[in-house]
């Protein structure tokens, strides 16, 4: 895939890191191992696609990396900062300032316009009105929706709604964007357009993207391709193992 001359200079070889990350759930008398001893590193500006079937642990991994959920054992580090000792208030602040989320079902607020949906994270950060409007207008133009800013989600196509969701994920200028099945509710042509957009934004803004999907076509847009099966990550046919002491 061409990147149209754009180049993202990668800074920091351990922007995101997980060390021996595991998650278990109790189901009756049984213990379900959703994730098993995962060690993983992504530098700033990386674009990682994690493929795996339903039930393989993709969403569990994303929830742990986004610090929405806590691991049973192991550690998530963001910019070399361990997150296990942070309070819920501190984790919420971390998500607001450094993590953008893109969901399979878009998760737009139906009573708000496209612009208002994109603006919402800035309201939570209490960014002043002039700056909010400037950022929203710029990002909507960047994702090709400048003319549809006043439309509500019900008046947008699936692809347009996902573009709004992408703009919303980027509006607070996060360091990493986590996408859960971003093409699952889109036809193949629209899905390809959305992935081209995400790779372009990755190149332009040097934001780390971590995309989990069961769609093999999404792997064409990866800088790195990782597979997940039975709660274990594999890259290049081997389990992903990182020497966290280096």
Q: Where are the domains of the chain?
A: 16-239
Rounded distance, CA 15 to CA 155, Å? 38
54-113 pLDDT tens trace: 888 888 999 999 999 999 999 999 999 999 999 999 999 999 889 999 988 899 999 999
CA distances from 202 to 35, 195, 199, 217 (A): 27, 10, 5, 18
Q: Is the pLDDT of residue 246 over 50?
A: no
Query: Do 71 and 24 meet the contact criterion of CB atoms below 8 Å apart?
Result: no
In this prediction the pTM is 0.85
Note the helical H segments in 81-153: 88-98, 114-124, 129-142
Instruction: Compute the residue count for the chain.
Output: 246
**Residue 244: predicted pLDDT:** 33
**Residue 236: predicted pLDDT:** 62
Mean of the per-residue pLDDT values of the chain: 87
**Residue 144: predicted pLDDT:** 92
Average pLDDT over residues 150-162: 95
157-175 pLDDT tens trace: 999 999 999 999 999 999 9
Rounded distance, CA 142 to CA 136, Å? 10
Return the CATH number of the domain spanning residue range 16-239: 3.40.50.300
**Residue 182: predicted pLDDT:** 92
Q: Is the pLDDT of residue 208 over 60?
A: yes
């Amino acid at each position: 895939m061409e990147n149209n001359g754009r180049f993202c200079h990668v800074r920091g070889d351990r922007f995101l890191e997980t060390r021996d990350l595991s998650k278990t759930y109790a189901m009756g008398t049984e213990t379900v191992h959703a994730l098993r001893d995962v060690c993983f590193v992504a530098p700033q500006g990386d674009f990682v696609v994690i493929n795996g079937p339903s039930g393989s642990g993709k969403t569990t991994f994303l929830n742990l990396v986004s610090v929405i959920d806590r691991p049973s054992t192991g550690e998530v580090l963001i910019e070399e900062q361990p997150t296990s000792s942070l309070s819920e208030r501190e984790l919420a602040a971390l998500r607001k300032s450094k993590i953008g989320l893109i969901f399979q079902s878009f998760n737009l607020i139906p009573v708000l316009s496209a612009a208002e949906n994109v603006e919402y994270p800035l309201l939570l950060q209490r960014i002043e009105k002039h700056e909010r409007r400037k950022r929203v207008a710029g990002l909507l133009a960047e994702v090709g929706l400048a003319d549809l800013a006043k439309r509500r989600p019900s008046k947008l196509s699936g692809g347009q709604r996902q573009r709004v969701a992408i703009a919303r994920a980027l509006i607070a200028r996060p360091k990493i964007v986590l996408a859960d099945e971003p093409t699952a509710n889109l036809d193949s042509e629209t899905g390809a357009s959305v992935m081209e957009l995400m790779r372009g934004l990755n190149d332009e803004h040097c934001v780390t993207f971590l995309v989990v999907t069961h769609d093999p076509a999404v792997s064409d847009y990866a800088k790195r391709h990782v597979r997940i099966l039975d709660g274990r990550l594999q890259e290049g046919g081997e389990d992903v193992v990182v020497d966290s002491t280096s």
